[in-house]
Chain A
């Protein structure tokens, strides 16, 4: 009994924080099911009838073009990041050479610099390469800025793999590239999952490069699309809330099904900060 009473402040604190973190989501989803008129008269009450009209409207808009762009950019970037960072991590973790440490530090620095410092030259470079205003322009910077964290995750993992693995493979006459892809890479699955989730979240939500490197609506990603909607239909609050809800859905679904991995993935990048 005494123990139960002692816990009351804990529960109160837990619930206050629950309201703090959860209510904005409730407001967003709740509003998305309302009509515009209903929102005007009672903006924060529960909807009288749940209507999916706002979501249906999204199907008629450009929303899914943005959505598709985001999917394409994110998938290609994440795959490239996995391949490039896993490969680059192998010599850094397993081989001794003079430039090992300097190269690792070079990648580490990338985590600390403000990405905006690179914005203008990348904008210029994109124009010179003829990639300006296309979703392909985004992949280079996304991959480049994802490399540092991913390389740290992979090298940490690779260092823990036993040396005997490589040695026995080498004895069997296995070349370094086959050794890496056939033997080591499959063992890196947990690290790959972490890298994939971490970068999926960041790239899916990335805004400033998409803002600067694309221009026409048909080439924007979701964050750009959301802002366009907001600019165009700012009066139709329920419509915008529907767009916000739908845009947040993929990440929330991933989170729902792989909660531990997501949490682990997001904290992994900072282990060595």
Chain B
């Protein structure tokens, strides 16, 4: 891979050089400089390109390659299967459950994390005392490792001594007590609540950074015109936050489509695939059932789905900009 990249770089460079030289005659000394330039650029970029090329680009290509084989992953016995894995995948109910759950997660993340983050960020600019303290605590969930969060919330949602059940009991809602993660209906919502807890602070800091960037004069001018705080929010803050909202949505959607850690720790995709996501299903097929070829086809489908979703967002965003 390294060599390929090098060759590619060199050949491209040669092309540009030769065309340049044939174009004008006087450039001999300059062409030497271009040549020097190439080695400088190459020297600076080669290490990063090598690592990136091997672990990201080569790997994506190889995922597609492996997805065309039947392969346990234990030995080197790859049997070419064409698109058989994809045909199986399309008929695989569990895969569609995982896709559905992934999109549920996307939707739930968008409607919980972003507004929650925005409310927190706005609160940070309101005239209340001890803001630094509030901000410090608000942000903490995002620093904890996902595995630690997963384990912590397994105990919080526990059916016997979990604090969720304790609170329900103490306010007389005993009938609602249950093993939240053991129940096929509630498990996904418990997980979504946990994910919102983890990521809302992240969007808080994004919105905070954006609000800081809004010029104070705008609010002053609005005040002179007699705008109340609600008007100020809807006519100044919100429109100016639009780019951040788009960025945050993209991050949230990408994040939700590749979610893995928390589900793996909290439910393992269960009970009965109720919380299965594409990534957990891929992991299960690949490293538990040793269907590496099939796992690769799930992997590659994830890549395609994520790619399409991002493309749609970017196109919609371009349109929106065009309209304005």
Residues of B within 8 A of A (CB-CB), count: 92
When C-beta atoms are compared, the residue in chain B nearest to A88 turns out to be: B48
Whether A18 is near chain B, meaning CB under 8 Å from some CB there, is yes
Is B128 a contact partner of A207 (Cβ separation < 8 A)? no
In the complex, what's the smallest C-beta–C-beta distance from B268 to chain A, in angstroms? Answer: 11
Bound: A20/B145 CA distance, A: 18
Is A227 a contact partner of B147 (Cβ separation < 8 A)? yes
Whether B173 is near chain A, meaning CB under 8 Å from some CB there, is no
In the complex, what's the smallest C-beta–C-beta distance from B192 to chain A, in angstroms? Answer: 15
Bound: A230/B214 CA distance, A: 46
Bound: A107/B51 CA distance, A: 11
Contacts A85-B48, A103-B45, A237-B155 given; does A21 touch B140 at CB 8 Å: yes
Contacts A24-B141, A226-B148, A248-B143 given; does A147 touch B127 at CB 8 Å: no
In the complex, what's the smallest C-beta–C-beta distance from B49 to chain A, in angstroms? Answer: 7
Say what secondary structure dominates the interface of chain B. Answer: helix
Contacts A115-B258, A226-B145, A267-B209 given; does A84 touch B47 at CB 8 Å: yes
Chain B residues with CB under 8 A of A240: 151
Interface residue stretch chosen among B35-43, B84-92, B219-227, B230-238: B35-43
Whether A273 is near chain B, meaning CB under 8 Å from some CB there, is yes
A-B pairs with CB below 8 Å: how many? 257
Contacts A251-B144, A267-B205 given; does A122 touch B44 at CB 8 Å: no
Contacts A17-B123, A267-B205 given; does A98 touch B12 at CB 8 Å: yes
In the complex, what's the smallest C-beta–C-beta distance from A103 to chain B, in angstroms? Answer: 7
Is A147 a contact partner of B44 (Cβ separation < 8 A)? no
Is A223 a contact partner of B310 (Cβ separation < 8 A)? no
Whether B97 is near chain A, meaning CB under 8 Å from some CB there, is no
Chain A residues with CB under 8 A of B60: 113, 117-118
Is B48 a contact partner of A205 (Cβ separation < 8 A)? no
Chain A residues with CB under 8 A of B54: 125, 140, 144
Is B206 a contact partner of A267 (Cβ separation < 8 A)? yes
Contacts A18-B134, A24-B156, A222-B145 given; does A110 touch B48 at CB 8 Å: no
Contacts A121-B66, A273-B250 given; does A266 touch B55 at CB 8 Å: no
When C-beta atoms are compared, the residue in chain A nearest to B293 turns out to be: A120
Is B9 a contact partner of A144 (Cβ separation < 8 A)? no
Whether B137 is near chain A, meaning CB under 8 Å from some CB there, is yes
Please report A residues at the B interface, Cβ cutoff 8 Å. Answer: 7, 10-11, 13-14, 17-18, 20-22, 24-25, 27-28, 40, 43-44, 83-85, 87-88, 90-92, 95, 97-99, 103, 106-107, 110, 112-125, 140-141, 143-145, 147, 151, 176-177, 180, 201, 204-205, 207-208, 211-212, 222-224, 226-227, 230, 237, 240-241, 244, 247-248, 251-252, 255, 259, 262-264, 266-267, 270-271, 273
Question: Other than the known A143-B51, A147-B52, A226-B151, what 11 A-B pairs have Cβ atoms closer than 8 Å?
Answer: A7-B126, A22-B140, A84-B51, A103-B49, A114-B279, A119-B283, A119-B299, A176-B44, A248-B143, A270-B206, A270-B251
Please report B residues at the A interface, Cβ cutoff 8 Å. Answer: 9, 12-13, 16, 37-38, 40-41, 43-45, 47-49, 51-52, 54-60, 62-63, 66, 73, 119-120, 123, 126-128, 134, 136-149, 151-156, 161, 163, 166, 197, 200-202, 205-206, 208-209, 246-248, 250-251, 254, 257-258, 260-261, 264-265, 279, 282-283, 286-287, 292, 295-296, 299-300, 302-303, 306-307, 310
